Amino acid sequence: MRPLLNWMLVLGTLLPVSGCAPQRGAGDPSGTVDLLLLGGRVLDGAGSPWVQRDVGIRGDRITFVGSARVAGLEAADSIDARGFLVAPGFWDAHSHAELEREDGKYALEFLHQGITTVVLGLDGGGSNQIGDIFAGYTEAGIGVNAIHFVGHNAARRAAMGNDARAPDPEEMAAMKAYVRAGMEQGAMGLSTGLFYTPGQFSTTEEVIELNRVSAEYGGIYDTHDRDLGAAYQGVGYDASVAEAIRIGEEAGTPVIFSHFNPQGAHNAGRAPAGARMIDEARARGVNVMAAQHPYTATQSNLRAYTIPGWAVDGGQDAMVARFDDPQVVARLDQETLDMLALRGGASKILFGDPRPELNGKTLQQVADERGQPVPETVRRILTDGNATVMNLDLYDDWNTRYLAQAEWMMTCTDGRTPAAGQDVVHPRVYGAFPNKLRRFVYEDSIISPQFAVRGMTGLAATFYNVADRGQIREGWFADVVVLDAARIQDRATFEDPHQFSAGAVHVLVNGRFAIRDGRPTNALAGRPIPRQDGGGVGR
């Protein structure tokens, strides 16, 4: 583990050794704090119901939780939080925040939801150059804290391109070395996107072998599982869930399912089957958890939704070359139609791609405009490159609500920082957390505020084994959101997505205001969070 320690020193993010926690506010000889949040309804993030407390912050830590008046505590600055909820900052357990972008580093889409920590490098895509990524964050500044995974697809692409075959021993060794380098540099674990190219070409055994490398470091296995129930000629929802659990169980790592929810009309009402498998795995000693966003639409890419695996063997250029062969095209076009049928048809595929001739239109609309059959439209678009698309109405809202009640359920946006010119994007990047709170907690009361907030905070911090974060506690990092429950509202819609959410009145990241009185400060107070060794039920 020594190289990891070196990286942490390089990054200046070495955390205090346990047992040397900062002084308690009440016993603080100076009797002062930098900031007092006065009289808010504190939800601790551990699941306790709210209780009225003052919260004192000094530097980057919460140093006081109690009654400031009784303790005689003075503050340089204070906020009247009466009537508001005071909670730990939220954890986006599956994020595509592009913090490395100059216009993405402020992370305002996320901060306005109350998110203060994002988990990146998922769906198998994470680079292993995590030391450089983290150093870049530290140098340029980031608006939220960031955790990174190293990706299986990235490892496979580096070792053997996009070939639809098994790796030879040298390629397998190269993939293992890739994962190891990521783990040495602070990766939280291995992520996969077995639905995507080239992950779809791998066997379960290949992933288990790579996950064993992560296991040596106490890593976590995060998966966009192979099927989710709507993959063409796939393994099916149940087998897909079982495979992910097996990968963690045999390698000896915890497992987290990204955006856990069965897809497709044929899986309506089937969430209990997947939940049961997770419960059974937990009963066997495998620490399996999941994250969800509350929307019925997914977002991914057109190629993954419409082109079968055999046709993307070798990658983009090899695929486009196949478009010239009429016999191949005849077979391909039929399979494209079969794939789309699983997803509700071309009218359910909505382009979020920045290309203006596509953005905001459905695949059916584009085909109609061009007077082309849908499969031909798909081929022509993909010839110019892959396209960002949503799949409307792919999730069953009943399933989502059922899963929201699971003890092991976290929350995620799965949202990507919008690109310039991307007028239509999935609203989840702006609204997943407020949407879930508004609908599931405040409108429909299917989960309590403390249960929802626990899944968004303390549960995640415990699972990822990140010390001193995820709860409102003395000595812990001051990642805090002050919420006006009456005003929690996601405002982004599919028609008009570029709208920040309301309700997060104040957001603090490592003790600094990122949002104050509803207005962003553009403070870049986030920090990279490398994997921390030892402890925790996460392991």
Q: Which residues bind Zn ion (CB under 5 A)?
A: 123, 224, 258
Question: Which stretches of 260-405 are assigned E, i.e. beta strand?
Answer: 288-292, 298-301, 349-351, 388-391
Structure tokens at 309: 């695996």
Strands 519-520 vs 349-351: parallel, antiparallel or unpaired: unpaired
Question: What torsion, rounded to 10 degrees, do the Cα atoms 412, 413, 417, 419 define?
Answer: 140
Strands 388-391 vs 349-351: parallel, antiparallel or unpaired: antiparallel
In sequence order, which residues have a C-beta less than 8 Å from that of residue 58 and are 6 or more positions away? Answer: 22, 25, 28, 32, 33, 34, 35, 511
Distance of closest approach, residue 203 Cβ to Zn ion, in angstroms: 20
Q: What are phi and psi of 486, to 5 degrees?
A: -70, -20
Q: Counting beta carbons within 10 angstroms of the beta carbon of residue 364, is it exposed (0 to 12), middle (13 to 18) or buried (19 or more)?
A: middle
* Neighbouring-strand partners of residue 53: 40
Distance of closest approach, residue 247 Cβ to Zn ion, in angstroms: 16
Cβ nearer to Zn ion, comparing 185 with 263: 263
Cβ nearer to Zn ion, comparing 228 with 525: 228
Cβ nearer to Zn ion, comparing 95 with 185: 95
Distance of closest approach, residue 245 Cβ to Zn ion, in angstroms: 17
Cβ nearer to Zn ion, comparing 119 with 480: 119
Structure tokens at 244: 């992910």
Structure tokens at 4: 């990891």
Cβ nearer to Zn ion, comparing 34 with 92: 92
Cβ nearer to Zn ion, comparing 167 with 415: 415
Helices 363-370 and 374-383, packing angle to 10 deg: 100
Cβ nearer to Zn ion, comparing 312 with 367: 312
Cβ nearer to Zn ion, comparing 263 with 435: 263
Cβ nearer to Zn ion, comparing 261 with 501: 261
- Alpha carbon distances (Å) from 98 to 95, 143, 436, 489: 9, 11, 23, 24
Distance of closest approach, residue 79 Cβ to Zn ion, in angstroms: 37
Distance of closest approach, residue 329 Cβ to Zn ion, in angstroms: 29
Distance of closest approach, residue 298 Cβ to Zn ion, in angstroms: 8
Among all residues, whose Cβ is closest to Zn ion?
224
Bond preceding residue 198 cis, omega within 30 of 0:
yes
Distance of closest approach, residue 190 Cβ to Zn ion, in angstroms: 15
Distance of closest approach, residue 463 Cβ to Zn ion, in angstroms: 18
Instruction: Give dist(CA 480, CA 33) in Å, integer.
Output: 16
Helix or strand holding residue 457 (H, E): none
Distance of closest approach, residue 259 Cβ to Zn ion, in angstroms: 6
Residue 14 DSSP label: P
